[in-house]
Amino acid sequence: MQGWHELRHKQLWTGPRRGLNLPPVSLKKESKMIQNHLPSYLHPEQLGAWGIYLEQIDRVAPYLGHLSRWIETLKRPKRILIVDVPIELDNGTVAHFEGYRVQHNTSRGPGKGGVRFHQDVTLYEVMALSAWMSVKNAAVNLPFGGAKGGVRVDPRTLSRGELERVTRRYTSEIGLIIGPTKDIPAPDVNTNEQIMAWMMDTYSMNEGATATGVVTGKPIALGGSLGRKDATGRGVFTVAEEAARRIGLDLKGARVAVQGLGNVGGVAARLFAQAGSRVVAVQDHAGTVYNEAGLDVPALLAHVAQHGSVQGFGSAESLSMDRFWQVPCDILVPAALEQQITAANAHQIQARMVIEGANGPTTPEADDILHERGILVVPDVIANAGGVTVSYFEWVQDFSSFFWSEDEINARLVRIMREAFESIWKVADEHKVSLRTATFIIACTRMLQARELRGLYP
Residues forming contacts to ligand GLU in the complex (CB under 6 A) are: 112-114, 186, 188, 216, 359, 384, 387-388, 391
Report the nearest approach of ligand GLU to the CB of residue 350 (Å): 27
**CA dist list (Å): 15 to 12, 47, 51, 337, 344:** 9, 9, 9, 20, 15
37 by Cβ neighbours in 10 Å (0-12 / 13-18 / 19+) ranks as exposed
Distance CA 423, CA 435 (A): 10
SS3 223: coil
> In the complex with ligand GLU, which residue's Cβ is closer, 110 or 287?
110
CA-nearest of 178, 75, 172 to 127 is 75
CA-based end-to-end distance of the chain: 56
Angle at 416 between CA 65 and CA 59, to 5 degrees: 30
Report the nearest approach of ligand GLU to the CB of residue 204 (Å): 19
**Beta-sheet strand order (sheet of 278-283):** 317-319, 288-290, 278-283, 255-259, 331-334, 353-355, 376-378
Report the nearest approach of ligand GLU to the CB of residue 395 (Å): 9
Report the nearest approach of ligand GLU to the CB of residue 455 (Å): 28
> In the complex with ligand GLU, which residue's Cβ is closer, 112 or 436?
112
Report the nearest approach of ligand GLU to the CB of residue 208 (Å): 25
Q: Give the single-character DSSP code of 326.
A: G
Distance CA 82, CA 395 (A): 26
**CA dist list (Å): 257 to 155, 286, 311, 333, 377:** 27, 16, 16, 6, 14
> In the complex with ligand GLU, which residue's Cβ is closer, 114 or 287?
114
Give the CB-nearest residue to ligand GLU.
114
Out of 112, 136, 148, 229, the active site residue is 148
What are the residues facing 318 on neighbouring strands? 289
Report the nearest approach of ligand GLU to the CB of residue 441 (Å): 20
* 148 in active site: yes
> In the complex with ligand GLU, which residue's Cβ is closer, 106 or 216?
216
> In the complex with ligand GLU, which residue's Cβ is closer, 122 or 384?
384
> In the complex with ligand GLU, which residue's Cβ is closer, 288 or 340?
340
Q: Mind telling me the catalytic residues?
A: 148
